[in-house]
Amino acid sequence: MKRNFNEWFSRFRSNIADFGYYTDFPKVYRNIDEIRVELSILNSLLGSRNIEADFRNILEKYPETLKCIPILLAVREQEMTILEENQEFRFSFHQYSGTVENYEFFMKKSGLFDLIQNHLICSLVDYAAGVEVGLDSNGRKNRGGHLMENLVEKRLQETGLIKDTNYFKEMYLNEIETRWNVDLSTLSNQGKTSKRFDFVVKSPTQIYGIETNFYASSGSKLNETARSYKNLALEAAPLEYFTFVWITDGKGWTNARHNLEETFDVMEHLYSLDDLNRHVFLELFR
C-alpha cells in the first residue's frame, strides 16, 4: 500500500535528547581533575593587591600552572597567536617558554588579571568547571548523532540480530564487497568514492546498508542529504543482493520537506522513528 507522506511526516519528533545529551558531566569532571592542583595554586591570586609580582612568583615556582590558563579563556589549544596593532604575539602554555614578562603581558591584555584580582569570581576551579560545561555544549551535535544510532541499534537488537554476526556498525563499501564477495561499484562511482554505512545487516539473501540521522534544526545540509540519499537509492535499486535503508527524523526537516518528499516518493525503505516503533525491522529482516 502506498504510504502518505504528510501523514508519515506528521509523526516526526522534535527531539530525541536524553538526560546526558545537554552536558557530559563525567567529561567535565575528568578535564577539571587534570588541572585541579594547578588551578588551586593560581587561586591564591584572587584579590591580590600586587597580582603581577604574585603571578611572577607562582610561575617561577610552579611553571606547570601555565597549562590551565587557556581554559580560563574557553580555549583548549595550548598554543595561542594574538595579533595586536599589526604585531603578532605567540604564547605557549604546554611548557614554559619566553619570559615571565610575556606571560604577564598576556594575562593583563587578555583580561585575566582583572578577572582574578578584582574578585569577580570566588574559585578558579568552579569557574573552569563552568567554562568546561559551556565548551561541552559544542559536542551536542555529535551526541545527537549517537543518540539516533543508539535508538536504531536497539531496534536492530530487538529483532534478534547480533552485533558482528548479522549486523555491523560503521562499515565501508569495500569492506562489504570483500566480506560477501559482491560488486557495489555502482554505489562508489566505480571505486572513486568511499562510502560508509552506519549499519549493515546481512540476511541469508540480502545485504542492507543503513544510514541514520536526526535533525532537530534546519539547515542547507538537509536538502543535499535528501538528494544524495535519493541518488543512492536509485543506484542501489538494480542490485538484487543489496538494499539501501534510510532512517531519519526530526522537525529540522520542516523547511526541507519538499526535498525529503521527493526522496520519499522514489525510496521504498525510507523510515522514521515511528516506523521503528511499529516494528518495521521485523518485516524488513524476516
pLDDT of residue 74: 96
Mean pLDDT by 10 residues, the chain (286 residues): 92 91 92 98 95 96 96 95 87 88 94 91 96 89 83 96 97 96 85 84 96 91 94 94 97 95 96 96 90
Q: Please check whether residue 56 is in contact with residue 104, taking contact to mean a CB–CB distance below 8 angstroms.
A: yes
What gap in Å lies between CA 123 and CA 30, rounded to an integer? 18
Residues contacting residue 126 through CB under 8 Å, at least 6 positions apart: none
Among 113, 116, 91, CA closest to 102: 91
Q: Are 72 and 131 in contact (CB under 8 A)?
A: yes
Residues with Cβ within 8 Å of 111's Cβ and at least 6 positions away in sequence, in order, are none
As given in the structure block, the three cell numbers for residue 67 are 597549562
170: left (phi over 0), alpha (psi -120 to 50) or beta: left
Q: Which regions of 93-241 does DSSP assign to beta strands (E)?
A: 167-172, 196-202, 207-214
Is residue 173 a contact partner of residue 195, using CB atoms and an 8 Å limit? yes
DSSP state of 152: H
Give yes or no for a contact between 99 and 73, defined as CB atoms under 8 angstroms apart. no
- pLDDT score at 1: 65
Q: How far apart (Å, rounded) are the C-alpha atoms in residues 145 and 225?
A: 14
The 8-class DSSP code of residue 145 comes to H
Are 155 and 281 in contact, with CB atoms under 8 Å apart? yes
Backbone angles phi, psi at 118, to 5 degrees: -90, 15
Predicted confidence at residue 265, as pLDDT, reads 95
Amino acid 192: pLDDT: 60
Helix (H, G, I), strand (E, B) or coil at 188: coil
The rounded distance, in Å, linking the Cα atoms of 135 and 73 is 11
